[in-house]
Amino acid sequence: MDSSQLFGVTMIAYIVAAAFYIGLFLFKNERVGVFGMALAMAGVGIQTAATGLRWYESYQMGAGHAPLTNMYESLVFFAWCTTIIYLVLEFRFKTRVMGAFVMPCAAVAMAYASFSDRIDDQISPLIPALQSNWLIAHVVTCFIGYGAFAVAGGLGVMYLLKQSASNANDRQPLLNALPELKVIDDQTHKTIVFGFMWLSAGIITGAVWANEAWGTYWSWDPKETWSIITWFLYALTLHARFTRGWRGRRIAWLAILGFLAVFFTYFGVNFFLSGLHSYGSV
Amino acid sequence: MTQQKKNSILSLFASVQLALSLLFLLAATSIIGTLIPQNNPPDFYIERYGFKTAQLLRILDIPDMYNSWWFLGLLSLFALNLTVCSLERIPQVIRTLRRDGLTVPPAQLAKFPLHRELRLAHAMEAATTRVEALFTTLGWRARTANLEQGRLLFAERGGWTRFGVYVVHCSILIILAGALVGSSTVARIIGNPKFAFKGSIMLPEGESTNHLIAFKSGEHIDLDFHLRCDAFAIEYYPNGMPKTYRSKVTVIDKGQPVHSADIEVNQPLTYKGVTFYQSSYQPYQNYQVSLKKQGSTAATSAIVATAKQTDWPEAGVSYGIINRESQGEATRRLKIWFTDNQGEPSVFWVNNNQEAIIERPSGTYLLTLRQLYATGLQATKDPGVWLVYLGCLLMLVGLYIAFFLSHRKLYAFIQPDADGCRILFAGEANKNKVGFEDKFSELINTLEK
Ligand code: HEM
């Protein structure tokens, strides 16, 4: 068995897990939810093995490096982070329906990585610019942040859905299954706080790396600029909340907007703009 | 200026609303520079956007917007806002911390969102000892006040964590200060271009230099020492991708070679505050020749170009490059013409940097030709980078404190009653309230047992 087969199995696990979580949301069948969780956990386990194996395979090929160096590997790692952060949240807050809003994101990332013909899943050796331990620190910190923001964005969508139903005042049984508005709001905030910490670390490790490789810690290249735009947006969100008392709806929208900025930083820049981070391009 | 006006300006700069607007403006305007390519020559913009638009862009400094007056102005406002706002709030934090928990009237404790009452069948003294012991198991030291109606115990932890926010805010100012110190603008203002610079060197193998060309301005900047490129090499992976770019260099200070090192991408060399980075290379159409006669000590070396005959009179040998095969500017193979003036000349292909063995009537010769390169180094002196790094470290530490640590207070008010005493516990935390609540309940449950 090679790592790409294991990644394939992981993808299937995430997709079916997402389907089960959505099933839990639609039919409120606890059993279905438990299956979803079990699959998500199995997916994480298999993916961890797959990542280790891919790492090993890269050494076998004489191109040894951590599997975190191109678009394919980062997408897959993003799915892994998102799922783990989501599962931790599920255990801590014991609200399983959230999975219906988060797991599809991990599943789509994984499926896109596997099927898009814009993305090359071969293990290739590292060009000189990427031969640095800072690369690993940078990618890991950034993607933990991105994973958290994906979860926060999902929670934002969930909040707005729930709220629109309670506004309309029809006691929609479907949405009653969702946690209390206050609980969703609180979790969104906590997830953003967690993500902000890691995004900050990601930007900093990136800057240190750039300084090691090129002698400039900040050069306003489009990817750097978009990451700082994202950082400003989340800083704004946090300040609006704890100094101006913004809650609920507005924070939910900001969580979604923030994730769109993350998405653009990650994808948009590679596909629409040019710059130093061309290794992410495909 | 009247007092009132002064205050209203001050309160504008102390306001979080301004901060929110500035954060939004910084985020929004930063987008422009990612859509419109930066730092291209003027013609580029005219060609791309038309004359009128290009002129407008130039007036607004868009082609170099992150260094424009208005963007730096926004950043300065942001820094000012941050400073004023933080300075205004720090005294409040100190006041909050100075407030003694023992002065809280016991009647108020029952109004805390987090409070619980329980009875113990102990006398006052025994109960006090138990509660104190409870505080101690947490690692908290309680202080006591004897009041009319009973005895108040108070302990707190993590008061200092209230400064976490200001560590973060201060770290941003430190980073901005570091960026300022390292900028060439400041070097120009203080009239010393050698204070901070970024530039590049194109250094052919075997040569040395003591100056570099500054970016943007194109000025010459002198170094206090010489840097010599001893050799440059590129290594490839089997699939043809580049694996390593390496410059072997020697620093020559006051005429003495003092330090030799390999500069690679991600492995710069720093000497006297100047850091050299591998950034590019330039192949030359010249070749380093080394030629030996087997079985004798006779050897020669030379630098040759193509289509020119070179002689080695001591050995009575002549040679030249009559053709070559290149990939881009990098030579792969060379076609050599070689004679010792006895019989037909030898003509053969040899790979770049690979030894050829030539059998001739006069003996066997070993010939190697290596294409010469110039290495492209970037050279930077940035005295502000340590401030930036310090700021980054402080930011991470500050964020951790601000987000994950909290100031917690615990009160216990003990009152005697008929056959024992009543204890009213109250607690508060400025963050992570849920976690503190759990701890609070757990604590009191252990007492009840
Ligand atoms: C992007 C830059 C900024 C970052 C990263 C940042 C970070 C933070 C953090 C981490 C906190 C603590 C949050 C908490 O208690 O949970 C905070 C609080 C605060 N920040 Fe900022 N900040 C920034 C810019 C600003 C600016 C420009 C102002 C100017 C007014 C400001 C004003 C405040 C205030 C008033 C608080 C609340 C302090 C309190 O607890 O009373 N911040 N900031």
If asked whether residues B130 and B217 sit together in one domain, one would say no
pLDDT of residue B434: 79
Segment B59-84 mean pLDDT: 90
If asked whether residues B304 and B358 sit together in one domain, one would say yes
pLDDT of residue A232: 94
Question: Which residue in B21, B29, B30, B34 has the most chain A C-beta atoms within 10 A of its own C-beta, making it the best mutation to test that interface?
Answer: B34
From the CA of B167, how far away is ligand 1's center (Å)? Answer: 10
Touching B: A residues 218-237, CB under 8 Å: 218, 220, 222, 225-226, 228-229, 232-233, 235-236
A196 touches chain B (CB under 8 A): yes
pLDDT of residue B77: 93
The pLDDT of residue B240 is above 80: no
Measured CA to CA, the distance from residue A205 to residue A227 in angstroms comes to 12
pLDDT of residue A4: 79
If asked whether residues B192 and B271 sit together in one domain, one would say yes
Q: Is residue B267 part of a domain?
A: yes
- Chain B residues in contact with A235 by the CB 8 A cut-off are 23
Segment B211-226 mean pLDDT: 86
Burial of B327 per CB tally in 10 Å (0-12, 13-18, 19+):
exposed
> Hey, which of B165, B173, B175, B430 would you mutate to test ligand 1's pocket, going by the most ligand atoms within 8 Å of its Cβ?
B165
- Chain A residues in contact with B242 by the CB 8 A cut-off are 127-128
- With a 6 Å cutoff on the Cβ, whether B165 touches ligand 1 is yes
Segment B294-320 mean pLDDT: 88
Q: Is residue B395 part of a domain?
A: no
- Helices B385-404 and A181-214 pack at an angle, to 10 degrees, of 160
Q: Which residues of B207-237 are buried (b: 16+ CB within 10 A; e: fewer)?
A: ebeeebebbeeeeebebebbbbbebbbeeeb
The pLDDT of residue B1 is above 70: no
User: How many domains, chain B?
Assistant: 4
CA distances from B7 to A180, B4, B13, B17 (A): 43, 5, 10, 16
Taking only the tens place, the pLDDT of each residue in B419-448 is 888 888 999 998 888 788 888 888 888 877
Q: A214 to chain B: nearest residue by CA?
A: B277
Q: Is residue B169 part of a domain?
A: no
Question: Which residues form the domain of B57?
Answer: 2-83
Q: Is residue B349 part of a domain?
A: yes
The pLDDT of residue B2 is above 80: no
Q: Is residue B360 part of a domain?
A: yes
Q: What's B276's domain CATH number?
A: 2.60.98
From the CA of B89, how far away is ligand 1's center (Å)? Answer: 11
Taking only the tens place, the pLDDT of each residue in A53-102 is 788 877 777 777 888 788 888 888 889 989 999 999 888 877 788 888 88
Minimal C-alpha gap between A77 and chain B (Å): 23
Measured CA to CA, the distance from residue A251 to residue A186 in angstroms comes to 10
Name the CA dihedral angle for A86, A90, A92, A94, rounded to a multiple of 10 degrees. 160
CB–CB contact B266 A132 (8 Å): yes
What residue owns the CA closest to ligand 1's atom 18? Answer: B165
Segment B160-165 mean pLDDT: 92
- Characterise B343 by phi-psi region: left (phi > 0), alpha (psi -120 to 50), beta (else): left
Q: Three-state DSSP class for B341?
A: coil
> Average pLDDT, whole number, for chain B?
88
The pLDDT of residue B32 is above 60: yes
pLDDT of residue B251: 92
Segment B122-151 mean pLDDT: 85
Taking only the tens place, the pLDDT of each residue in A105-140 is 888 888 888 887 777 777 777 788 888 888 889 999
If asked whether residues B59 and B70 sit together in one domain, one would say yes
Segment A164-180 mean pLDDT: 68
Measured CA to CA, the distance from residue A269 to residue A222 in angstroms comes to 7
The pLDDT of residue A200 is above 90: yes
Q: What's B108's domain CATH number?
A: 3.30.160.110
Residue among B20, B198, B264 minimizing CB distance to A240: B20
The pLDDT of residue A279 is above 50: no
Segment B319-325 mean pLDDT: 91
Instruction: Give percent of chain A above pLDDT 90.
Output: 24
The pLDDT of residue A280 is above 50: no
pLDDT band of B130, cuts 50, 70, 90: confident
Contacts of A167 (CB under 8 A, 6+ apart): none
Measured CA to CA, the distance from residue A210 to residue A276 in angstroms comes to 10
If asked whether residues B195 and B245 sit together in one domain, one would say yes
Q: Is residue B231 part of a domain?
A: yes
Is the pLDDT higher at A200 or at A78? A200
Neighbour count for residue B144 (Cβ, 10 Å):
15
- Chain B residues in contact with A265 by the CB 8 A cut-off are none
Helices then strands, counting H and E runs in chain A, come out as 10, 0
- Chain A residues in contact with B264 by the CB 8 A cut-off are 128
Beta strands in B238-329, from DSSP E residues, in sequence order? 242-253, 256-264, 269-271, 274-293, 299-304, 310-312, 317-327
Any idea which of A165-169, A234-238, B197-201, B403-407 has the lowest mean pLDDT? A165-169
Segment B14-33 mean pLDDT: 90
What DSSP element (H or E) covers B115? strand B115-120
The pLDDT of residue A21 is above 60: yes
pLDDT band of A281, cuts 50, 70, 90: very low
Minimal C-alpha gap between A128 and chain B (Å): 6
pLDDT of residue B3: 56
Q: B28 to chain A: nearest residue by CA?
A: A229
Any idea which of A9-13, A166-170, B404-408 has the lowest mean pLDDT? A166-170
If asked whether residues B288 and B221 sit together in one domain, one would say no
Question: Which residue in B266, B392, B406, B433 has the most chain A C-beta atoms within 10 A of its own C-beta, making it the best mutation to test that interface?
Answer: B266
Residue among B35, B243, B279 minimizing CB distance to A125: B243
Q: A261 to chain B: nearest residue by CA?
A: B27
CB–CB contact B266 A226 (8 Å): no
If asked whether residues B11 and B60 sit together in one domain, one would say yes
If asked whether residues B289 and B364 sit together in one domain, one would say yes
- Chain B residues in contact with A125 by the CB 8 A cut-off are 237, 239, 241, 243
CB–CB contact A215 B245 (8 Å): no
- Chain A residues in contact with B237 by the CB 8 A cut-off are 62-63, 125
Q: Which atom of ligand 1 is nearest to the CA of B162?
A: 40
If asked whether residues B213 and B263 sit together in one domain, one would say yes
Is the pLDDT higher at B6 or at A29? A29
Number of A:B CB contacts under 8 A?
104
pLDDT of residue A282: 33
CA distances from B68 to B63, B71, B283 (A): 9, 5, 37
pLDDT band of A12, cuts 50, 70, 90: confident
From the CA of A152, how far away is ligand 1's center (Å)? Answer: 20
A61 touches chain B (CB under 8 A): no
- With a 6 Å cutoff on the Cβ, whether B19 touches ligand 1 is yes
Q: Three-state DSSP class for B16?
A: helix
